[in-house]
Amino acid sequence: MGERLEDVKLYINGEFVDAASGETFENINPFTNEVTNLVAKGSSPDIDKAVAAASEAFQHGPWGSMKLSERMKYIDRIADLIEEEAETIAHLESLDSGLPISQTRKMAARGAENFRFYSRVVQARMHGDAYQVDDEFMNYTVYQPLGVVGLITPWNAPFMLLTWKVAPALATGNTVVLKPAELSPLSANILASVIQKAKLPKGVFNVVHGFGETAGEALVKHATVKAISFTGETTTGKRIIKNAADSLKKTSMELGGKSPLIIFEDADFEKALDAAIWGIFSFNGERCTANSRVFIHKSLKEKFTTALKERVQNIIVGDPKDNRTELGPLIDKGHFQKVTSYIELAKEEGCEVYQGTVPPVFKSGNYVPPTLLLNAKNEMRVCQEEIFGPVMAVIEFETEEEVVHIANDVDYGLAGYVWTNDIKRAHRVAQAIDSGMIWVNSQNVRDLRIPFGGMKASGIGREGGHFAIFEFYTEPKAIHIAIGDHHIPKFGKGK
Ligand code: NAD
């Protein structure tokens, strides 16, 4: 039996409320496919209410004009409360998404760190520049919040990804309407209750649950909303940019990926193997920066394939609540079918498909076994399209020139991983790969100060560090002050 929880409401103007329509939808547990609870189905009238509350809080509430040190006390309090609730967050996140509990514990801790980090960065870095122009002008810049911002998040790492947006948005003085993914609504409401406990002024933070085509689109099209920060699929991102155009909104797009991991002949074999396995099978393979394409040097192919097969057989596929579980069920039946159909396609395209096993006791969950697509070719659809599951294609290469070319021969450009002990080659290849982020001899370790995001079909803009603050959540204003006399043309004084 799955765990039955209290129903999920919207959070608008400091209160948990039903949708205006009174409608709800079912939240399904990926491990059992039973109903966890009902979720208030927000739509356009709820978005209107939430935006009105956020707008009032921005314009007339204390949030935007509060002293920075005061605002940061709230942000730090949110971090403290997340830490207090970390075990509950980890548990609910695992229940909602099917992610193994050992991984959601780390995500909960990261959620708190996101708030602490932005509290520090905003205090230290949110200042403008001053430019002296001889003895005529003093020009300077200030960075001001945008107003109401809309945040739209996916289901694959719900709490971590939403805190990643909410923390910088609030720390810089904006007010927020969050539309979480319909498939994983629980942790957004924990954040709402944390924010309620932290006593943020009413309307500063609002959550509207619901579907993308209704709640999401209403938020994107709302004239009062100044910006949309979106993480999700590339096709959704394109649609959002189109819908945001009429009201000339600023948009930030963190989209899909098909990231390469390249192992040269001189790489530290065991470490590269660990990184390749972890990078595709952690987060159940539902990871935007997953190394879904591994390029292995011809000389290592056999050894690598044998080692991969052994590891895949030993991956612990299990109940997400079990601390030892390494791979859990996919988010829902629809996604399970999508991933499974790509594995069928891989066979048709000529790959050797090698899989681990799912214990029969877990047959009611959306489990896809850890899967290798061996003897893959980069031009196959399974190497070009984002599968977003525990499925790794293995492609052989011979020369550096060749591997750089094929690694870049894809629409996406989010992450890349290079394994070599040749320092010149490491830099050369890192600089040649078309992606927003590259890790050399390293797994995907996140440094919050560094810009996070992709190029090509993987996104526009960057999150993280001062990039979020200066390039997205604030508007730079230039102020020009005459400090002496300067020439002003005299028009209309006659000939
Ligand atoms: P999705 O695009 O289906 O949904 C994401 C969010 O957008 C959800 O809240 C959804 O309700 C909403 N939405 C859907 N249609 C909308 C519309 N027309 N208008 C407004 N909102 C709409 O993505 P998903 O399936 O939830 O997430 C998986 C995807 O996210 C993968 O492609 C993955 O690579 C990507 N992702 C990217 C990053 C990154 O940083 N680049 C991080 C995590 C996930």
Expressed in angstroms and rounded, the spacing between residue 304 Cα and the centre of ligand 1 is 34
User: Which residues does a 6 A CB cutoff place in the pocket of ligand 1?
Assistant: 152-156, 161, 179, 181-182, 211-213, 216-217, 220, 231-233, 236, 239-240, 254-257, 288, 386, 388, 414, 454, 458-459
Q: Which residues pair with 178 in a beta bridge?
A: 151, 207
Which residues have C-beta within 8 Å of that of residue 68, sequence separation ≥ 6? 122, 123, 126
Expressed in angstroms and rounded, the spacing between residue 231 Cα and the centre of ligand 1 is 5
Expressed in angstroms and rounded, the spacing between residue 230 Cα and the centre of ligand 1 is 7
Which residues have C-beta within 8 Å of that of residue 83, sequence separation ≥ 6? 109, 112
For each of the chain's 495 residues, which pLDDT tens digit applies?
A: 568 999 999 999 999 999 999 999 999 999 999 999 999 999 999 999 999 999 999 999 999 789 999 999 999 999 999 999 999 999 999 999 999 999 999 999 999 999 999 999 999 988 899 999 999 999 999 999 999 999 999 999 999 999 999 999 999 999 999 999 999 999 999 999 999 999 999 999 999 999 999 999 999 999 999 999 999 999 999 999 999 999 999 999 999 999 999 999 999 999 999 999 999 999 999 999 999 999 999 999 999 999 999 999 999 999 999 999 999 999 999 999 999 999 999 999 999 999 999 999 999 999 999 999 999 999 999 999 999 999 999 999 999 999 999 999 999 999 999 999 999 999 999 999 999 999 999 999 999 999 999 999 999 999 998 888 889 999 999 999 999 999 999 999 987
Distance from C-alpha of 129 to C-alpha of 476, rounded to nearest angstrom: 10
Q: What Cα–Cα distance (Å) separates residue 225 from each residue in 12, 51, 161?
A: 15, 7, 20
Fold agreement (10-255+458-479, 260-440): no
Q: What is the CA radius of gyration of the chain?
A: 24
Expressed in angstroms and rounded, the spacing between residue 372 Cα and the centre of ligand 1 is 25
CB 133 within 8 A of CB 140: no
Instruction: Kindly give the pairing relationship between strand 260-263 and strand 250-254.
Output: unpaired
* Pocket-testing residue among 97, 288, 387, 412, ligand 1, by greatest number of atoms within 8 A of Cβ: 288
* Pocket-testing residue among 97, 114, 156, ligand 1, by greatest number of atoms within 8 A of Cβ: 156
Q: Which atom of ligand 1 is nearest to the CA of 228?
A: 20
Please tell me the CATH superfamily of domain 10-255+458-479, with its number.
Aldehyde Dehydrogenase; Chain A, domain 1 (3.40.605.10)
The full set of domain ranges for the chain reads 10-255+458-479, 260-440
Distance from C-alpha of 63 to C-alpha of 435, rounded to nearest angstrom: 37
CATH 3.40.309.10 fits 260-440, yes or no: yes
Please give the distance of CA 162 from its chain centroid, rounded to a whole number. 7
Distance from C-alpha of 228 to C-alpha of 14, rounded to nearest angstrom: 22
Q: At what angle do helices 158-171 and 101-125 cross, to 10 degrees?
A: 10
